[in-house]
Structure 1
Amino acid sequence: MQHWAIAAVAGLAILALVILRITSGRPFRPLWNDLPDVAVAIILWLSLALLTGRPVSSALLWVVLAAGLLLADHTKREVLREPIVFADASELLLVFTHPKFYLPYVHPALFYGIGGLLVVATAALFSIEPPSMPGDPVLSRLVGALLLIVPIAAYFWRPSLNVMARVIRLLRPSGDPVEDAKTLGMLGSFAAHTVCSRQERPARQAACHFGIVTAPPDKPPVLLVQAESFFDIGRLDPALPSPLMHYQACRARACRHGRVDVDSWGANTTRSEFAAISGVSSAALGLDRFNPYYSFARRPLDTLAARMRQAGYLTVCVHPYDRRFYGRHKVMPNLGFDHFVGGEAFEARRGELVADEVLGAWINDFIDRQARPVFVFAVTVANHGPWSAQATTDSPFAPMLGGYLDGLMGTDRMIGQLAGSRWLNEDGGIFALYGDHQPSLPILLNDGAHIGASTDYFILDRTRAAAGRCDIRVDQVGRALAECLAEHAPMPRAPRAADRLSAAGRRF
């Protein structure tokens, strides 16, 4: 390798290390905290340099990727109040397949301008840099491939994985991404968390136990709704009249209601989604708490839906968006759902957010058509950010909430549709709703409104009297619903058209 190449690689290595230090949140730290980062970076750079024979281009590529990591981490901390974690690697492709959920939070000049320029410059350097790695090219490529293949193979082979995990634990990772990034570096913490999470996962999966669900003889229809970015905005200023009339009415009649302690803010819907259905706390998930759909829920688990199915219910999950988003099409059967309905049922165009009122009408129609007991878990998406700066809804809350208020009013109208349904009022159904997380709004950032990060929930059962406030964690939502089902008092029901249909003549 020529002297200029050695100097260029050294300079780029220093630049990459500076970028990684800034990303870690501790730019001025002892040199030994850089060792895990340096070890991972050397393996990645050397493998690519040996495979391509171009050391400078390989170094520049990793500098560009480190800069991208810095941008992603900064954006996530600003918008979601948490750093990049190892499980976010699963979302890299989603940035390009579902850009409206990611790119609006990054300045176009940074992503398309500077980012595009760096990518083009790296590609150009690869095309003009002559191969300059010493030794036989064939042998070099073999060594480069082995530098990647051996760690990956060791990761997937249980005996070597256990050894890797024991070695990594000598570094004493805490499991806190913020602290581990400071002490192990970003790349070092990613590697440590990736290995440790896989090594711990089977035991944690085996420990998942929702418990028996007891259904009354009449098996009423049951609906659980996870509402996107929903919380009771009346908490912002109790002196103002809340525009959420349907929510307020349901809460007043609910057999259970209160606040929900959730494990995310502004995004990460799947965390609340999984917690409510599985009853598993974030502590029990370990490192998989950041994205339980990434690997943890890729095998059958004991959940509310699985127990409802055992109790004789048809279990259905509906999420009016791309069924492949976050791998839900693979996860939902493992969570105990007989059917998973995505955006295809709503004739939604790619990337379109289906209105909550449309989803509410679909739910009512679907439940009314069923001849057997049904449990529906609905995950809304319409009120996902970003939102416009100005609200069209006339309310005292409009100046502080902007366009988010418009979407929230759509959720409230959906609540009214479901609360006024026949299956709930005449067939004695149970209707529960909770918010997945608070919206990423400036007024709520870093608890600027002094209301905490909790959302709200209610469980409505017409056969039971209203009760006082009872705050719970999000992993207790499904269990609370199961308890209400067990305590449900059957009510006389008029014959329904769906009840007279022959099961053989019906299709899902």
Structure 2
Amino acid sequence: MILLALSVALAVSLAIEAFDGRGVRPVSRRPGDLAVRLGAYALLCAFWFAFSWRPWLAAFSCILTVAILTVVSRLKRGVIGEPLVFSDFALLRQVPRHPELYYTRPLNDPRMAGPILASLAAVALWYAVEPSALPHEPSVAVLAVIALPLALWTLARLAPDGALGLWLTARFPAPDLERDVTRYGLPATILAYAVRWRMERTPRDLTTADSEERDQGVSADDTENRVVVVVQLESFIDPVRLGGPALPVMEIVRTRARQYGRLRVPAHGAYTMRTEHAVLTGRPPESLGFGVFDPYLAGGGAEPTSLARLARRAGFETLFIHPFHRDFFDRAAVMGRLGFGRLVMEENFVGAPRIGPYIGDVALAERVLAEIRARTGPLLVFCVTMENHGPWKPGRLAGLDDPRAQYLHHVAHTGEAVERLIAGLEGLPATLCVFGDHAPSLAACRPGFGGTATDYAVLHFGGDDAAPIRRDLTADALGRQLRAEVSRPEA
């Protein structure tokens, strides 16, 4: 019975993936590739079997898991342009905490709670109908209940080591999602990438970095009270690219910026942390291995040569400003590890005006300028806006339900905020860098739009009157350029 249930689970799961990829990602027929794909299905069956010891319930659970992964991956691919990856599961804990950021509802909403309770009731009924496959001898049954989960746990723990680790490295030498999903299937790719990520994790020792900051620090006089402001603009692209009206700030950029252009970022429509990490560290995606999908997941921001740490060594105070929850992306802890000495977050914006659900960009710009006016020495500010965070859905703005119209309403405030920063920095020994973290996930802006490119600009104040230069960059190249700004001698 167990073998029959397993065979059905493997066959139906394979059929689901074959149907999903027909004509686009046909199932590889190589024996080795099929073995890896079927092996992942078998592991799913074993996982669910360990909970119930009911073969048909485990088989159905495996099929349902593959079906859900396939559907969600297809939806994600349509919006963001890539399939599900292992790091997405680490973000699941954010969904019930911040459902407003996702296309979902709180768990206590009847439209969410109803299906969940119905599913739990169906599982309970299945438990009552299908007999357990546990041995009748109590001592043997207890041993089996312990042994199967222990075996699965041991396999997970030992997978990165020895022969299995070498085999996985040979099969999955570097991230190549489209190739691997085509060859091995989605479940196998998710599991293998998770193991490969664990194999590459190397804890970073910040003791040396902190020591270098203390020992190699430069006095504030050497940086002449300079200000470097880096603003990561949520979902920002020039609205003209979406058929919207021109922002006045874009003309200011083209005539006033030292450098501007398109910024090729590591993702489309989401994954702010990828662009953020690239700019703050200057590290290209290929240097991150399997950590490329969520650079903060492994080290949590432990980057001894981040922009903030380099700035501290040059005598700058380092300040991170973001008007949202400290726990989202674990940002408070991550930014501390990246080298920011002070954080200004949502609790510091009590009473600030909200445009829709989030603190307005103009209010954020005013807070940045207030911090600059209050500085006592050279200052690096890294600021992340929030007003134009998706999803853009009905009810967000009164009398304005069209998602594109909502986006354009917010992006006008983003432009105004940047204008205020430019005006506020005039006459100071300062650098302002603004850039979009990714394109918005709007129906009119699907994957492939602009080749994942956003827009950026770097402006110098206090005597630098060089002519503007149009230069398209990658996010990590912009990060490497900014490293020079924290030590750039005055013009």
TM-score of the superposed pair, with normalisation by structure 1: 0.81
Q: Are 2:61 and 1:58 aligned?
A: no
Match in the other structure for 2:378? 373
Report the alpha carbon displacement of residue 253 of structure 1 after superposing the two structures with TM.
0.9
Match in the other structure for 1:415? 418
Q: 1:399 to 1:84 in 2, by over 3 A?
A: closer
Match in the other structure for 1:267? 270
Which residue identity is paired with 2:55? P
Alpha-carbon distance in structure 2 between the residues aligned to 1:227 and 1:459: 13
Q: Secondary structure at the match of 1:202?
A: coil
Any conservation in 2 of the 1:23–1:186 contact (CA below 8 Å)? no
Q: Are 2:438 and 1:437 aligned?
A: yes
Q: Are 2:133 and 1:140 aligned?
A: no
Report the alpha carbon displacement of residue 390 of structure 1 after superposing the two structures with TM.
11
- 1:303 paired residue among 289, 302, 306: 306
Match in the other structure for 1:457? 456
Q: Are 2:369 and 1:364 aligned?
A: yes
Report the alpha carbon displacement of residue 149 of structure 1 after superposing the two structures with TM.
2.0
Structure 2 unaligned segments of length 5 or more: list them. Answer: none
Q: Are 2:41 and 1:41 aligned?
A: yes
Alpha-carbon distance in structure 2 between the residues aligned to 1:29 and 1:369: 62
Alpha-carbon distance in structure 2 between the residues aligned to 1:272 and 1:259: 14
Moved more, 61-70 or 376-385: 61-70
Q: Report matched runs for 1:223-242 at 5 Å.
A: 223-235=229-241, 242=245
Report the alpha carbon displacement of residue 197 of structure 1 after superposing the two structures with TM.
2.3
1:89-122 deviations in Å (ceiling 9; x for gaps): 21122222222232259xx999778776545423
Q: 1:23 to 1:485 in 2, by over 3 A?
A: same
Q: 1:485 to 1:313 in 2, by over 3 A?
A: closer
Alpha-carbon distance in structure 2 between the residues aligned to 1:204 and 1:179: 31
Any conservation in 1 of the 2:259–2:457 contact (CA below 8 Å)? yes
Report the alpha carbon displacement of residue 381 of structure 1 after superposing the two structures with TM.
1.9
- 2:252 paired residue among 249, 254, 259: 249
Q: Secondary structure at the match of 2:223?
A: coil
Any conservation in 2 of the 1:23–1:70 contact (CA below 8 Å)? yes
Q: Secondary structure at the match of 2:149?
A: helix
Report the alpha carbon displacement of residue 334 of structure 1 after superposing the two structures with TM.
2.0
Q: Secondary structure at the match of 1:459?
A: strand
1:210-258 deviations in Å (ceiling 9; x for gaps): x999995303121100001111233456xx8x53113421442111211
Q: Are 2:353 and 1:347 aligned?
A: no
Structure 1 unaligned segments of length 5 or more: list them. Answer: 491-508
Match in the other structure for 2:14? 17
Report the alpha carbon displacement of residue 79 of structure 1 after superposing the two structures with TM.
0.8
Q: Secondary structure at the match of 1:434?
A: strand
Report the alpha carbon displacement of residue 364 of structure 1 after superposing the two structures with TM.
1.4
Alpha-carbon distance in structure 2 between the residues aligned to 1:74 and 1:348: 41
- 2:226 paired residue among 217, 220, 227: 220
Q: Secondary structure at the match of 1:377?
A: strand
Which residue identity is paired with 1:457? Y
Report the alpha carbon displacement of residue 304 of structure 1 after superposing the two structures with TM.
0.8
Alpha-carbon distance in structure 1 between the residues aligned to 2:437 and 2:448: 17
Report the alpha carbon displacement of residue 400 of structure 1 after superposing the two structures with TM.
9.9
Q: Are 2:154 and 1:153 aligned?
A: no
Identity, in percent, stands at: 28
Match in the other structure for 1:428? 429
Q: 1:65 to 1:117 in 2, by over 3 A?
A: farther
Alpha-carbon distance in structure 1 between the residues aligned to 2:272 and 2:134: 47
Q: Secondary structure at the match of 2:451?
A: coil
TM-score of the superposed pair, with normalisation by structure 2: 0.84
- 2:331 paired residue among 300, 315, 328: 328
Q: 1:124 to 1:9 in 2, by over 3 A?
A: farther
Aligned pair count reads 467
Q: Are 2:408 and 1:405 aligned?
A: yes
Which residue identity is paired with 1:434? F
1:252-307 deviations in Å (ceiling 9; x for gaps): 21112111111111111110000000000001112211110111445343111110
Alpha-carbon distance in structure 1 between the residues aligned to 2:485 and 2:217: 10
Which residue identity is paired with 2:261? G
RMSD of aligned alpha carbons: 3.6
Q: 1:205 to 1:186 in 2, by over 3 A?
A: farther
Any conservation in 1 of the 2:301–2:338 contact (CA below 8 Å)? no
Any conservation in 2 of the 1:294–1:326 contact (CA below 8 Å)? no
Match in the other structure for 1:496? none
Report the alpha carbon displacement of residue 484 of structure 1 after superposing the two structures with TM.
4.1
Alpha-carbon distance in structure 2 between the residues aligned to 1:447 and 1:183: 23
